[in-house]
Structure 1
Amino acid sequence: MKKLNRRGFITATTAMVLLALQPWTAVAKTPENQLVVGFSMANVLTLDPAGAGGKERVQIITNLYDNLIAIDPADRTALKPELAESWTVAQDGTSIRLNLRPGAAFASGNPVTSEDVVWSFKRVLKLNLAQATNFKIRGYTAQNADENFIAIDPQTVEIRIPQKTDPKIILLTIAMTGPGSILDMKTVLENEKNGDLGSAWLATHAAGSGAFDLQVMTPNEMVVLKRNENYWGAPATMDRVIMRHLPESQSQRLLLGKGDLDIAYSLSAGDLSALEKDKDVKIINEVGNGLYYLAMSVKDKALSDPKVRQAIIKLIDFKAINDAVMKYYGVLHVDPIQIGLGGENNDTPPERDVEGAKLLLKEAGYPDGLQLSLHALSEPPFDNLSVAIQGALSDGGVDVKLITGGGETVYGPMRKREFQLLVGRSGGQVSHPDGDLRSIVHNPDNSDEAQLSGLLSWRVSYRDEELNNKIDKALFMAPEQQKAEYAKIQQIYRDRVPAIQAISQVTDSVAIRGDITGLTISPVWQTRLSTVGKAR
């Protein structure tokens, strides 16, 4: 038999999967042993856990990699064991010791050791991609990693805390998919090229210990996960999970209605509303992780003026936009701290005031209005949200040119600080008020050279030294005092006119076939599919 090369193998595997999809339209039923998911891969640029964030990417990686500890899906502020069966915080709060689960192995069969854990954390910092920021803002650097991530013995890891902080913040950080994902060091280094620590290979491959392993990743087409037979926990219910790139909401709705999909992740409000009438479909809606926001770059001359930013905020009717555009996607929320973390104000949104906005623009030197560009993903709800904001701003004389496209088209210029306005969605912070404030408000170094691209505050060039200090001090206050201080910080941020204006708290709306069982939506995008089955 002729031996297939890697490209030939992938093509053949993809072809087999596509052939399996062909008869579904006729039988209107997905295979009993396979879960078929519709979602958008437009923003899935790599499967390397150290790379850029994004909801859809996290949804894949969570099922391929384990962390030392996990975030409880029932309570986003609580932690539970995963690869570490237990942990102890030092009495002085300067270190955490974690004991690994005996017998855990990667999909390759290699055992999970403390060396893999320590190497995974150090790798994030060495690559210095987006996920490194989650460690860097806690005082970790590539230079001090050796002294702070230590393999005590093959089953014991010690994490030292380089700067004073609440140890739970560190635990929440390593519970995040991305910075806390544990990689099979041996397998990754076998695929290293030119000192990239396996990053190019991991863009379309996996080296984890999760309930699933990666069978196929074809960008902007599909991802196929197969049950990991070496998984340390209960085996996945399904043999495979096929995640199909279906960016068109209507396509997902039609396929779900016919039974060709089991789960649809990326549906428009209109299609979700239509599916609510289908007796064979269920809609799950949960408050999720992140905020939909309008970003205004303070590096831009016009937007550096608080009066211009205030005028833009005054032109937006937050309630109307949420009612018209955000049903199924978000719930009205205008402050940086997310609902459910403690410290959020739940204040009423700013009132729309078109004449007041025009007056502010005139005072700022723009009596005839101004022209700005607005970046947004060309998918729901970003597309409709950007159009709604464009229309609202035009009433005040702000002419907005929309720039839409995929992840790199939209977020690429933002990471380089080369944009004016952008409609985005935050996420990936630790489940603590400090996580939101440290991403959206706190900016330790506003220089271009700092390259803190994981911080929204850095991306919009916003820095307020007083707020930085208040956020640092609040972390060590008693709970009630801390809650009051977080409310005060948010009010100051609002009064000084934010560069990141929250619009909605993310809600996750997922449509599933009525026979799907065992699906629990994670409030931080880390939804595990290993427990999902079919009642047939």
Structure 2
Amino acid sequence: MNRTSSLGACLLALAMMMGSGAAIAKTPPDQLIIGMNMNNLLTLDPAAMTGNEVVGIVVNLYDSLVELDPTQLTHVKPALAHAWEVSPDGQTLTFHLRDDVRFHSGNPLTAQDVVWSMRRILHLNLAQASVWKSYGFSKKNIDQQVSAPDAHTFQIVLPKANDPQLILYSLAALGNLGVLDSKTVSRHAVNDDWGNRWLTTNEAGSGPFILESWQAKDVLRMKRNPGYWREEAKMSRVVLRHFQESQTLRLMIEKGDLDIASNMAVSDINALRNDPGLTVDAVQRGTVYYVAMSMKEPHFSNPKVREAVRYLIDYQGINNALMPGYGVLHQRPIKSGMPSTLPDPGYRLDIARAKKLLAEAGYPDGFDTTLRVLADQPFLNIAIAVQSTLMQGGINAKIITGTGNQIYGAMRERKFDMLVGRGGSGMEPHPHSSLRALVYNPDNSDAARLTNFQGWRTGFYDKQLNEMIDRALLERDPQKQVAGYQAIQTRYDKLIPALIPLSQMVDSVVVRNEVKHYQPHPSATTFLREVDKTNAGEKP
């Protein structure tokens, strides 16, 4: 055999070895390595968190009273509370806690810790307080509405009539009442901040994992809690690594350097679908992608301008070209798949109609504005598409990109013109979940600071709509309740809202087949305690 054919044989053997998978790297067998984009991971404080990424971390550091079954969302499962009951009048919820739970510090968990954690949410009045304020809780009344009759009994008295089932769903799905070790957090409080500064980068939970370290936009490490009250987590460590570029995520999981990859571009996800060593897990979330306008900005306070924008979005084109793997066409504030959700109204790009509306509004030549957006996909591509069609109608929108704090921070301060974003909760399996986040706005004043309500952020307010939402929540006749929620959607549509839904989120995660028992949760509360790995073979 000559030298050339020897070299060819070696190259062929190398290629066959690589093709067989022998060259694929392996992550440590007792560690779960997750790749993701951490640009929107700003705090680990359950009371201040925003975004699905941090929810997925917090629920593995903290325990809640109850949990939602990921395969049957309306099924509420025990967690810290092994049992609970609702009073006949529906106003009082009583939870009976386990007596064998300890925090990561070693302190025993008691009902007083639950009371303190709930009080903390309302007293801090940060992002996660908005949900509870919509139920009537406030900084002024929370101390009277929650109590600990004994060390292992926690009680909530609702400050106004509500659907107690929705309260249970919220306790299970939101992650904001992950119960905190009140003694540990109080030791780190500064200037009455309830430990907020410290909890931004630390934790004080009782969950299956303990925070080891977090370096922003780099890496977050959690280790197994050896004293966990449930069976200990299967993995000794979970490592989350930050990757800005989707192609890097794709390369890393192809090579076997990652077990799970999220926040990937559609093109990269599709390229991996035929890889026999990988599975694409897709779950539909309740959150929606939207185009928002600020009604504090003079142009968008005019309903004809908002209606013109409604017809300057190519919904079908965006969803067909940009959203596969990210979302599906949806134009209603209530998430799809619920009995109360109306069919889409069928809005389409209509340049001529939009120009006519702008002329009637006093802007025959259009106007200049700004369009804020995260510097991530699919947000940026949506913004570019919207910018293009706005321009055809005469609206020149300058795109401003940034991190989550820069973009959503401006929205929370009500200091923006237009914005492409994603939100709407939808975490609880109840129509009110979506309406609360996207539509409901009980107090439109700047001082209200309802920062987690998209309605408040945009300045959209309608007293009658708020009243309709309140009535539908309390309606006990199922058919009448469905009719009430449908009437809300009809009125919302006619009012020409400042927030235009265009797609309902689909979360696509790429998972190596060695990973088993990984169950993406529709409410973003994905539990990692049961995740295990095999050396080879397909996912069971």
> 1: CA distance between counterparts of 2:289 and 2:401?
16
CA contact (8 A) 2:291 2:500 kept: yes
Alignment map for 1:53-64 (pairs within 5 Å): 53-64=50-61
| Cα deviations by residue, 1:371-421 (Å, 9 ceiling, x for unpaired) | 111111111111111111111211211111101110111011101101011
Residue ranges of structure 2 left out of the alignment (5+ in a row)? 1-21, 536-540
Aligned match of 1:446: 444
Equivalent positions of 1:419-430 (< 5 A) are 419-428=416-425, 430=428
Alignment partner of 1:63: what SS? helix
Whether the 8 Å CA contact 1:115–1:151 is kept in 2: the answer is yes
Q: TM-score, normalised by structure 1?
A: 0.93
CA distance in 2, matches of 1:132, 1:384: 32
Alignment gaps of 5+ in structure 1 = 1-24
Q: Secondary structure at the match of 2:74?
A: coil
Distance in 1 (alpha carbons) for counterparts of 2:501 and 2:411 = 17
2 CA distance for matches of 1:147 and 1:352? 52
Letter of the 2:498 counterpart = A
Show the counterpart of 2:64.
67
Shift of residue 173, structure 1, vs aligned partner: 2.0
Output the CA distance in 2 between the equivalents of 1:188 and 1:134: 23
Structure showing greater radius of gyration is 2
Q: Is the 8 A contact 2:60 2:528 kept in 1?
A: yes
Change (3 A) 1:141 1:494: same
- Inter-CA distance 125–448: structure 2 relative to 1 (3 Å threshold): same
Matched, 1:330 2:327: yes
Residue aligning to 2:131: 134
Using a 3 Å threshold, how does the CA distance of structure 1 residues 376 and 200 change in structure 2: closer, same or farther? same
Structure 1 SS opposite 2:189: coil
AA paired with 1:306?
P
Match of 1:19 in 2: none
User: Which residues of 2 match residues 31-50 of structure 1 at below 5 A?
Assistant: 31-50=28-47
Q: For residue 431 of structure 1, report the CA deviation from its aligned partner.
A: 3.1
State how 1:208-223 maps to structure 2 within 5 Å.
208-223=205-220
Counterpart code for 2:280:
I
Q: 1:459 aligns with which of 457, 475, 478?
A: 457
Contact residue 61 and residue 209 of structure 2 kept, 8 A: yes
How does 1:61-460 map onto structure 2 within 5 Å?
61-428=58-425, 430-460=428-458
CA contact (8 A) 1:291 1:503 kept: yes
Match of 2:9 in 1: none
Q: Deviations over 1:260-289 (max 9, x none)?
A: 000001100011011113221111111113
Give the deviation of 1:439 after TM superposition. 2.0
Measure, in 2, the Cα distance between the counterparts of 1:126 and 1:424.
28
Q: Is the 8 A contact 2:286 2:434 kept in 1?
A: no
Structure 1 Cα separation of the partners of residues 100 and 365 of structure 2: 69
Summarize the Cα distance change of 1:310–1:427 in structure 2 as closer, same or farther, 3 Å threshold.
closer
Report the CA distance between 1:427 and its aligned residue: 4.1
Partner SS for 1:98: strand
Answer yes or no: is the 8 Å Cα contact 2:49–2:55 preserved in 1. no
Equivalent pairs counted in the alignment come to 512
Match of 2:511 in 1: 512
The corresponding residue for 2:473 is 475
Superposition deviation, residue 454 in structure 1:
1.2
1:524 aligned residue? 523
Contact 1:289 1:525 in 2 (8 A): no
Amino acid across the alignment from 2:172: A
Amino acid at match of 2:101: A
Provide the C-alpha distance between the structure 2 equivalents of 1:56 and 1:289, rounded to a whole number of angstroms: 15
Q: Distance in 2 between matches of 1:86 and 1:236?
A: 23
- Secondary structure of 2:353's match? helix
Q: What residue number does 2:501 align with?
A: 502
* C-alpha RMSD of the superposition: 1.4
* Separation of aligned partners in 2, 1:63 and 1:320: 38
What is the TM-score with the length of structure 2 in the denominator? 0.93
Q: 1:122-163 CA distances to partner (integer Å, 9 max, x unpaired)? A: 011111111111111111112211211100100101110110
**Offset from partner CA, 1:423-482 (integer Å, 9 cap, x none):** 111144543111211221121111111111111000000001111111111112211111
For the 8 Å contact 2:115–2:148, the answer to whether it is kept is yes
Paired AA for residue 277 in structure 1:
N
AA aligned opposite 1:448:
D
* Distance of aligned partners of 1:27 and 1:327 in 2 relative to their CA distance in 1, 3 Å threshold: closer
Q: How big is the shift at 1:348?
A: 4.3
CA contact (8 A) 1:70 1:175 kept: yes
Select between 434-443 and 174-183 the one with higher mean Cα deviation.
Answer: 174-183
Task: Note if contact 1:84-1:100 (Cα within 8 Å) is conserved in structure 2.
Answer: yes
Structure 2 counterpart SS, 1:76 = strand
Q: Secondary structure at the match of 1:77?
A: strand
Q: Distance in 1 between matches of 2:78 and 2:424?
A: 23
State whether residues 39 and 246 of structure 1, in contact with CA within 8 Å, keep that contact through their aligned partners in structure 2. yes
Q: Which residue of 1 aligns with 2:13?
A: none
Alpha-carbon separation, structure 2, partners of 1:46 and 1:503: 28
Q: Counterparts of 2:52 and 2:177 in 1: how far apart (Å)? A: 16
Aligned to 1:22: none
Amino acid at match of 1:303: F
- Take 1:366 and 1:438, find their aligned partners in 2: how far apart are those partners? 33
> Given that residues 318 and 349 in structure 1 are in contact (C-alpha distance below 8 angstroms), is that contact kept between their aligned partners in structure 2?
no
Cα deviation for residue 180 of structure 1 reads 1.6
